[in-house]
Structure 1
Amino acid sequence: MDWAPFTPQTIKRSWPGLRVGFYLLPPFDGLEATQPDSIEVIFSGHRNAAVEFGKRLCEIAVAPGTALVRGAEPINWLRVGEYSDSIVMYPDISLLQKLAGEAHAGPIELEPIVLDHDPVMLGVAHIMRRACTADLHISDMEASCLAHLLIRRLLARQYGIDVQDAHLPATRMDSRALDAIGEYIEENLRGRIALEDLAAIARLSPFHFARCFKATTGLAPYQYVIARRIDLARRLLMTSTMTVAEIGWAIGFENISHFRRQFAAHFGIVPSQLRHAMAL
Structure 2
Amino acid sequence: MPRAKLITVNAAHDESILKVLPSLPVLSSQATSWNEIQLAHHQHLAAFETPEHCFPQHFITIHLNHAPVKKERILSGESRCDRFREGDICLTPATAPVSVRLHDACEVMGLYLDPALMTRLTADVAGVNGLDLVPQFKLNDPLIYQIGIALKTKLETNGVWDRFYAESMAMAISAQLIQHYSTRHLKVRNYANGLSQARLQQAIEYIREHLAQNPSITEIAEMVEMSPFYFSRLFKQSTGLTPHQYLLRCRIEQAKQLLKATNLSIATIATQVGFVDQSHLARYFKRQVGVPPNQFRA
TM-score by length of structure 1 reads 0.51
Identify which of 31, 40, 43 aligns with 2:61: 40
Q: Which residue of 2 aligns with 1:190?
A: none
Identify which of 19, 29, 37 aligns with 2:48: 29
Q: Which residue of 1 aligns with 2:185?
A: 160
Shift of 1:101: 1.4
Letter in 1 for 2:28: K
Q: Which residue of 2 aligns with 1:18?
A: 37
1:28–1:135 Cα change, 3 Å: farther
Letter in 2 for 1:18: I
The answer to which structure, 1 or 2, has the higher relative contact order (CA under 8 A, 6+ apart) is: 1
1:58 aligns to what SS in structure 2?
strand
CA distance in 2, matches of 1:165, 1:125: 25
2:107 aligns to what SS in structure 1?
strand
1:128–1:55 Cα change, 3 Å: same
1:144–1:77 Cα change, 3 Å: same
Letter in 2 for 1:41: I
Q: Which residue of 1 aligns with 2:96?
A: 73
Shift of 1:134: 4.8
1:160 aligns to what SS in structure 2?
coil
CA distance in 2, matches of 1:28, 1:94: 34
Structure 1 segment 188-207 matched on structure 2, within 5 A: none
Deviation per CA, 1:51-72: give whole Å up to 9, x if none. 2223344322223201211013
Q: Which residue of 1 aligns with 2:172?
A: 149
Structure 1 segment 1-280 matched on structure 2, within 5 A: 9-14=25-30, 15-31=34-50, 35=55, 37-44=58-65, 46-71=68-93, 72-82=95-105, 84-102=106-124, 103-114=126-137, 116-136=139-159, 139-158=162-181, 159-164=184-189, 166=191
1:24–1:133 Cα change, 3 Å: farther
CA distance in 2, matches of 1:124, 1:91: 13
Please, which runs of 5 or more residues in structure 2 have no aligned partner? 1-22, 195-235, 245-282, 284-298
TM-score by length of structure 2 reads 0.48
Percent sequence identity is 11
Shift of 1:105: 2.5
2:41 aligns to what SS in structure 1?
strand
1:127–1:70 Cα change, 3 Å: same
Q: Which residue of 1 aligns with 2:278?
A: none
1:27 aligns to what SS in structure 2?
coil
CA distance in 2, matches of 1:106, 1:91: 18
CA distance in 2, matches of 1:99, 1:31: 32
Shift of 1:164: 3.1
Q: Which residue of 1 aligns with 2:18?
A: none
1:66–1:26 Cα change, 3 Å: same
CA contact (8 A) 1:40 1:89 kept: yes
CA contact (8 A) 1:30 1:78 kept: yes
CA distance in 1, matches of 2:132, 2:193: 26
1:8–1:101 Cα change, 3 Å: closer
1:48–1:137 Cα change, 3 Å: same
CA contact (8 A) 1:21 1:88 kept: yes
CA distance in 1, matches of 2:72, 2:87: 18
Deviation per CA, 1:72-95: give whole Å up to 9, x if none. 31432223313x211111122111
CA distance in 2, matches of 1:66, 1:138: 29
| Number of residue pairs the alignment of both structures matches | 170
Q: CA RMSD in A?
A: 3.5
Q: Which residue of 2 aligns with 1:260?
A: none
